[in-house]
Amino acid sequence: MLRPRIPTMPTPTGIVAPIVHSAPIEQQHQAAACACQHPAPVRAMPAVRLSPAGLLAVVGGGAAVVLVVGAVLVSLLLAVAVTAASVAVCAVVLRSMVNNPRHR
């Protein structure tokens, strides 16, 4: 009951999946240093070099994006607050309209 069973296909497809055997990993030994002189490895330069004006432009652009996103979020919050206030006013008006006929 708890042993897995391999399903058998009634019609074979002809596609045979190869069985993958894991080979043992061989450790590679480091080669000894040679006596010849190789040139020193060249250090990679950074991909982007910004001038001071370019850096100011990037900082200014980032600040502008932050300000625009902040303004959009504040306006959405204000819209939600105005909607909640108008719904509250409508609820008070409806309650007074329902309760007033009894008192007249």
Domain locations in the chain?
Answer: 72-104
Report whether pLDDT(104) > 90. no
Structure confidence by residue, pLDDT tens digits, 31-62: 666 777 777 777 776 677 778 898 899 999 99
Q: How many angstroms separate the Cα of 90 from the Cα of each of 33, 78, 80, 103?
A: 86, 18, 15, 20
Cβ contacts of residue 4 below 8 Å, gap of 6+?
A: none
- Interval 12-28 mean pLDDT: 66
Percent of the chain with pLDDT over 90: 38
Answer yes or no: pTM beyond 0.75. no
Q: Indicate the range of 11-15, 71-75, 82-86, 93-97 predicted with least confidence.
A: 11-15
**Collapsed DSSP state (helix, strand, coil) of residue 102:** helix
